[in-house]
Amino acid sequence: MEPIKMNLIKIFTSTFLLKGIFAISLFILILISGISYKHTLSLADSTESVVHTYKVNIQLEQLLSFVKDAEIGQRGFIITRDSSFLQPYNAAYVNVLISFAELNKLAANNIQQQNNLESLHQLIDSRFSNLETTFRVSAQIPVDKSLLKASMLNGKIFMDKIRFQVSKMIELDMAYLNERQAKYDHEISFTPLFTLLLMLFALFIFIFSYWEINKDLNILKITNANLLIKTESMSHAEEIGGISSWQWNLESNKLIFSDNQYLLLGCEPQSFEPTIEKFLEFVHPKDKHLVIDGEIQVLENNKYPTSFFRIIRKDGEVRHFKSLSKLITDINDKKTLIGINFDVTEQHKTTLALEERNKELEQSNKELASFNHVASHDLQEPLRIIQIYISRLIEKEDTTMTDKGKEYLDKIKMSVTRMRTLIEDLLLFSRTNKIEKVFEKTNLNLLLENSKLDLAGAIEEKNAVIYSEELPTINVIPFQIQQLFTNIIGNSIKYSKTNIAPCIKISCEKIVAKDQPELKTKSTKKYFKISISDNGLGFEQQYAESIFILFQRLHNDKEYIGTGIGLSICKKIVENHSGFIISQGELNIGATFSVFLPS
């Protein structure tokens, strides 16, 4: 290390001063050039401001002159009835438009003047409208003098306003000019002082550079000491992280291993000369081709693939490595391949455990599928037979059966019916989870009509009325969205008030997610919000989320038949579409279910 230090000191002491002085001198030269350029721009800007103000003033004066020409021409015609007075009147408005076009260009970058110009435009339009009115009044026979006088007085008011607005714009542009001129004067006055300060600063830099040279040796020593500490820290970091680094000089075909590369191979640091052939001795025989192929990819195809291979340590233990590499070229066009090796044995074991767990989950899913088959066939068959025999008992033994016996049979019949409904709902919920999600571009209005047909009996029985806005055509899983409509509308009909016909309203609007506080998201994704409202029993808002939980019911079985699965199915359907479903309710007032489907 000592020769390297001496060379570094020589290079440092011989070049630092010259490089520093050159860099600072160049910086000062650029800075002075920049200041001169800035002052030139300021002068040009000041000149441009004067010209701009001059142009604005000319155009405003011309504009006012054109309006006066129109006014004089009108008065001359009214007094003399000589049509030659109308020539300046007719040309005035065209000239006004030309002046306005020029003023719009001049005020393009000034919002305040644009607003003033807009106000002036309105006043001049009003003045020309007043002139037209005066013409019409003067053309009447006999002339209504009082009306003519009022019109001309009104014109005078407009002219006073126009003159005031023109003066206001001229004053504003002059204020801008004065402000720019004051800024320019300030910058010019500051230049000598700034140049002096800059020269003093340059002198200070030269003195400081000379003084700094005397400290270079100590700084270099401290830097080298810190470098040694950092190198040692890197070695420990590699050991802690289970990684190692290496370098392969392609010109000299020499390898350099970090100390931890030896340790990962089960050897003492620097215990052998690192070569490709020596490293391949540690690679598992079945994985040697992976290392060789990776080397070819880097050298011949300039690709840097991630390699995974096994090594056999010196003590015989098999470990799994992950290797990353990159080819770099220095200023002398010499190529060096650098890389990092990771010991990923533990991660590999974790991956194997996850694969095993996935197999177990697949087996569990197969068992669940078998259960679904049993539930849909074997469990329902005994229930069907029970229902048949109950029906026969009621038909044939009705006259001999006691009232208590009939009551027991009714309860058995209700329980069997509820059991069949529960099994069917569970199967529907299971299919919603597992069925293949095939999206189709579908008109939701057609799905809604199909749901109404499914619920036709309940709608007729309760005299339900359904109002619906036009729904969109979007990509959905058709039968699931139809089931969604059926479940929600069916709930509205089921939980309607006694002796009050259900009234269900369906609306739709396009929204942005972040604009809906109830979604609690900052996403800018767009959705169709479909709201289904009713006038039924409703519910307390504290149950707005729990009603979507499987088997959760707010009413007992004796009042309303159900399994508590319908809304859980709705939530699962909406999740299958990457959407949201929320509910709002008010007891004895009604409920609203809002479905958000991506647009």
Query: What pLDDT sits at residue 265?
Result: 81
Mean pLDDT check: name the lowest of 478-492, 524-538, 547-561, 571-585.
547-561
For residues 45 and 192, membership in a common domain is answered with yes
Tell me: pLDDT of 383 over 80: no
Is residue 64 situated within a structural domain? Answer: yes
The more confident residue out of 194 and 27 is: 27
Mean pLDDT check: name the lowest of 82-91, 226-235, 351-360, 395-404.
226-235
The more confident residue out of 467 and 588 is: 467
pTM of the shown model: 0.40
Tell me: pLDDT of 561 over 60: no
For residues 538 and 440, membership in a common domain is answered with yes
For residue 204, give the CATH number of its domain: 1.20.120.1730
Q: What are the structure tokens assigned to 338, written together? A: 């650098």
The more confident residue out of 372 and 9 is: 372
Tell me: pLDDT of 580 over 60: yes
Assess contact for 489 and 456: CB atoms under 8 A. no
Is residue 79 situated within a structural domain? Answer: yes
* Rounded Cα gap, residues 485 and 501, in angstroms: 19
Domain of residue 389 covers: 349-434
> Mean pLDDT in the chain?
75
Mean pLDDT check: name the lowest of 23-27, 132-136, 422-426, 459-463.
422-426
Query: What pLDDT sits at residue 307?
Result: 78
Assess contact for 489 and 532: CB atoms under 8 A. yes
What is the mean predicted confidence (pLDDT) over 494-512? 88
Examine the fold and report which residue of 209, 226, 249 is the final residue of a domain before the chain moves on. Answer: 209
* Rounded Cα gap, residues 96 and 64, in angstroms: 9
What is the mean predicted confidence (pLDDT) over 386-412? 70
Using a 10 angstrom Cβ sphere, with 0-12 exposed, 13-18 middle and 19 or more buried, the burial of residue 445 is middle
Tell me: pLDDT of 14 over 70: no
CA distance readout (Å), 56 to 99, 172, 250, 590? 10, 11, 73, 67
* Rounded Cα gap, residues 57 and 133, in angstroms: 30
Examine the fold and report which residue of 163, 189, 209 is the final residue of a domain before the chain moves on. Answer: 209
Is residue 63 situated within a structural domain? Answer: yes
For residues 447 and 428, membership in a common domain is answered with no
Q: What are the structure tokens assigned to 483, written together? A: 């089931």
Name residue, tokens 């508590």. 564
For residues 467 and 482, membership in a common domain is answered with yes
For residues 167 and 154, membership in a common domain is answered with yes
For residue 142, is the peptide bond before it cis, meaning its omega torsion is within 30 degrees of 0?
A: yes
Q: Which of 467, 480, 475, 482 is nearest to 531 (CA)?
A: 467
Assess contact for 565 and 425: CB atoms under 8 A. yes
Tell me: pLDDT of 324 over 90: no
Q: Into how many domains does the chain fold?
A: 4
Band of residue 379 on the pLDDT scale cut at 50, 70, 90: low
What is the mean predicted confidence (pLDDT) over 247-259? 77
Query: What pLDDT sits at residue 445?
Result: 93
Examine the fold and report which residue of 343, 361, 381 is the final residue of a domain before the chain moves on. Answer: 343
What is the mean predicted confidence (pLDDT) over 59-71? 79
For residue 414, give the CATH number of its domain: 1.10.287
For residues 115 and 185, membership in a common domain is answered with yes
Band of residue 1 on the pLDDT scale cut at 50, 70, 90: very low
For residues 358 and 337, membership in a common domain is answered with no
For residues 532 and 580, membership in a common domain is answered with yes
For residues 138 and 247, membership in a common domain is answered with no
The more confident residue out of 324 and 221 is: 324
Is residue 335 situated within a structural domain? Answer: yes
Quick: pLDDT tens for 541-560.
877 777 777 555 555 444 54
Contacts of 177 (CB under 8 A, 6+ apart): 49, 50, 52, 53
Tell me: pLDDT of 431 over 60: no
For residues 174 and 95, membership in a common domain is answered with yes
DSSP state of 468: E
Is residue 175 situated within a structural domain? Answer: yes
Using a 10 angstrom Cβ sphere, with 0-12 exposed, 13-18 middle and 19 or more buried, the burial of residue 386 is middle
For residues 532 and 576, membership in a common domain is answered with yes
DSSP state of 554: S
The more confident residue out of 1 and 541 is: 541
* Rounded Cα gap, residues 590 and 518, in angstroms: 19
Is residue 216 situated within a structural domain? Answer: no
Query: What pLDDT sits at residue 239?
Result: 63
Name residue, tokens 């767009």. 526
Query: What pLDDT sits at residue 6?
Result: 46
What is the mean predicted confidence (pLDDT) over 458-475? 90
* Rounded Cα gap, residues 154 and 152, in angstroms: 5
Is residue 591 situated within a structural domain? Answer: yes
For residue 504, give the CATH number of its domain: 3.30.565.10
For residues 418 and 325, membership in a common domain is answered with no
Is residue 329 situated within a structural domain? Answer: yes
For residue 280, give the CATH number of its domain: 3.30.450.20
Mean pLDDT check: name the lowest of 239-248, 281-290, 564-573.
239-248
Q: Which of 511, 533, 536 is nearest to 524 (CA)?
A: 511
DSSP state of 235: H
Quick: pLDDT tens for 113-167.
788 888 888 888 887 787 777 777 777 778 777 887 787 788 788 788 888 888 8
What is the mean predicted confidence (pLDDT) over 9-24? 57
Query: What pLDDT sits at residue 470?
Result: 92
